[in-house]
Amino acid sequence: MAKARGIRRFLRFSLRSLVLLTLVVATWLGYEVHQARSVERQAEAIRALRGEVEFEPSPRSLLRFFEPSTYGRRATIVSLPGENVRQAISLLAGVPALREVQVAYDGTSDLNPGMSNLCDALPGATVVPMASPVEEVGFGWDLLHERAQISFWDSSRAKRRYERFAEKASQLPTMRPSIVRYLDAHRRGFLREWYLPDDYRILRLHDDLVAEVLVISLHEMAHSYSEVHRAAVLVVGDRCVDARDLTALESHVIIGDIDGDGKVDLALESTASPRAHVDRAHQLSGDDRRWLAVYAIEPSGLRSLLPVDHFRPQDSAVGAHAAIHIDARPK
């Protein structure tokens, strides 16, 4: 009997306790509503900068059991274009649970100081630079023939990318004239009918340095041969540190881990028959592919991993045959 009386006393609530409990629950639910609205406003502001937001559920939420798409969410990953980084810094600094920011660059603008300022403003988040997909121009060699095409080209991101890389490459003392011609042809929109899409990559090197690699190609058709004129430009810390004329018959460029050391390399693979390129092609240990060039991408430039570097900048004889015939149209 005494035990039953003790249980009833334990289950008994005073009016004061009930009011206090109701106040606590109401306060918490009001806080959750406020947080949900704040998160949604931040997400809308990020989307206005052409960014995207990824959410994850918060473990301390009651309303997420009733409306998970609205309540109990927190922004953890944000991706946005590099050109809008400066406008987003103060906004992202107010996102408490943010752990990663992915910044996509298309080669039209410098990475710094925007990215370095973002890293300073978000010490608890990881900033990941990445390359945006490079658009295809979609025109033949007569790109600038029509006025409408001229207007399209002048406002295109492709032209802005070529202008930026051409300006940086022109400051490199060892720049070869053939590379300047390739970049100028792309900048002016004079692309051959057999135009090949660019390859643009962003790589994180050691010491928090970020490298950009742009590979451009022009396909020249002649009566007796077809040749791809190709140039690779390396920019580290918004400064051009190396450029190579990789023109060669029957070959293609690969950007990836070639030697298996876990780091990205720049390589030129021979696609010709084994009897071709016998004096220039080499093989790496455990790799049956035939390489005309393999370079480790380093802060100081491209370091050859083959016994002989046939495309070194100071070798003027290598690029003598690579002069592409471009009409002298007015700029």
Whole-number pLDDT of residue 134: 78
Whole-number pLDDT of residue 118: 93
Whole-number pLDDT of residue 317: 37
Q: What own/partner pairs with CB < 8 Å and gap ≥ 24 does 262-265 have?
A: 263/296, 263/297, 264/201, 264/203, 264/297, 265/294, 265/295, 265/296, 265/297, 265/305
How far separated are the first and last CA of the chain, in Å rounded? 103
Q: What is the DSSP string of 74-92?
A: EEEEEEEEGGGHHHHHHHH
Supply the pTM of this predicted model: 0.80
137-146, 154-163, 309-318: lowest mean pLDDT where? Answer: 137-146
Whole-number pLDDT of residue 285: 86
pLDDT tens-digit readout, 224-263: 556 678 899 999 999 999 999 998 878 889 999 999 999 9
Whole-number pLDDT of residue 157: 87
Over residues 295-319, mean pLDDT: 80
Segments making up each domain of the chain, as ranges: 2-131, 147-322
Whole-number pLDDT of residue 127: 93
Whole-number pLDDT of residue 42: 92
Whole-number pLDDT of residue 147: 52
Return the SS3 of 248. Answer: coil
pLDDT tens-digit readout, 4-62: 555 555 555 676 776 777 776 667 666 777 778 888 999 999 999 999 999 988 777 76
Whole-number pLDDT of residue 321: 36
Whole-number pLDDT of residue 249: 79
Q: Is 268:292 a contact under the CB 8 Å cutoff?
A: yes
